[in-house]
Amino acid sequence: MITFRGNCRATGIGSLPHTDPRAAVEAAFTFSPELPYWPQLPKVSPREGMNEQALAGMPGVRAENGKLRLVQDEAFYLGVEKIFTAYESGEAAAAALPPESACALDGFCTAVQERGVPQAKTQIAGPITVGMAVLGEDGNPILYDEVVRDVLVKFLHLRVKWLAGRLRAAGAEPVVFVDEPFLAAFGTPLFGWSLPQVRACLEAVTAGAETVGSHCCSNTDWSIFLGGSLAVVSFDAFAFAENFLVYRDDLQAFLSRVGTIAWGIVPTEPEAIAVATVDTLRDRLLAQIDRLGQLGFSREQVLRQSLITPACGLGTRSPDAAARALALTRDLAANLSTTIRQ
């Protein structure tokens, strides 16, 4: 049973362009005060890149010439044994993120505790995206290797559990996103897996936390997410609402079980950020939400089951563009929330 409610709050996708971790944490709380999120900072270090961060500490993974490879040497097998033992015992510390791969995490958890927020968000790249980014010794993505995939899934399951535990220890109910941008390739020649295969792999990882969401920043087969066990489905509502809203049966089922839609209605392209206003974004979003009325859901009901976010991460944007997108997200959420709090 889903107990999480979006309640039209603002939050972020994850990455920010800051190079000062303290400033990044402050931005996460300033612009998403009701559901702050751990800021990932790829401009600080390549180790905070999406795939590099998710894989930090994974046995056998090496970065060589800008590519990620898996080497099955003695250290790999010793590491695998530790992961499997930890998985069986539920010892999430085996997949703890090293501090150099998450420079803002400690400060964020401290701020969560000091400010007493009831819920907080964290995120990590998911098994499909990560598994397609690492090449095995045969030259193919490790996702296609059944044995190595099992190691990856167990490792990421423990990492999700560990991240949730960090927030819980800080006094907040954890909301963990397991993000899958690679699923934009689902159904293309680049990726031949079936929907059940994808969903089973993703849900083996998301089982590491109670309240889990997932984000895909492009178009995909949204039934993968809507028809699974996720509490939150996050998408780029600025560019792909038409594609998303055609999944009528899946949306009806998802909203009926009180799932939350994270509407990425605030653009992240600099030109679009510059001309967007709260009023134009509000009109654009409400037009999308009102289409769900055809499925039997009122505007107020959908807003209660909504989060407001940027369309994607902001780690590659300029600080000024990111700040404007974050301010639009916060102000739009505040504007819309008056509709459901009267």
Instruction: Supply φ then ψ for residue 247, to 5 degrees.
Output: -85, 65
Which pair of tokens denotes residue 155? 């490792």
The span from the CA of 182 to the CA of 184, in Å, is: 5
Mean pLDDT in the chain?
A: 96
The span from the CA of 65 to the CA of 4, in Å, is: 42
Q: How far apart are the first and last CA of the chain?
A: 27
Integer-rounded Cα Rg, in Å, for the chain is 19
Condensed to tens digits (0 to 9), the pLDDT of residues 128-142 reads: 999 999 999 999 999
C-alpha torsion sign, points 48, 50, 55, 60: negative
Single-letter amino acid code for the residue at 146: E
Condensed to tens digits (0 to 9), the pLDDT of residues 208-262 reads: 999 999 999 999 999 999 999 999 999 999 999 999 999 999 999 999 999 999 9
pLDDT at 1 over 90: no
Residue 292: partners with Cβ closer than 8 Å, 6 or more residues away: 245, 251, 255, 302
The model carries a pTM of 0.96
The span from the CA of 201 to the CA of 127, in Å, is: 7
- What was the pLDDT predicted at 13? 97
Q: Cβ distance 59 to 80 under 8 Å?
A: yes
HSE (side-chain half, CA atoms, 13 Å) at 207? 12
Number of helices followed by number of strands (H, E) in the chain: 14, 10
pLDDT level of residue 291 (50, 70, 90 thresholds): very high
Percent of the chain with pLDDT over 70: 99
The span from the CA of 172 to the CA of 185, in Å, is: 35
pLDDT level of residue 192 (50, 70, 90 thresholds): confident
- What was the pLDDT predicted at 301? 95
Closest listed residue to residue 14, CA positions, set 120, 103, 121: 121
- What is each CA distance from 145 to 95, 96, 140, 151, 203, in whole angstroms? 21, 24, 8, 10, 18
Instruction: Please state the rounded mean pLDDT for residues 316-339.
Output: 96
pLDDT level of residue 341 (50, 70, 90 thresholds): low
Where is mean pLDDT largest: 65-79, 186-200, 270-284? Answer: 270-284
- What was the pLDDT predicted at 190? 87
Residue 340 or residue 329, greater confidence: 329
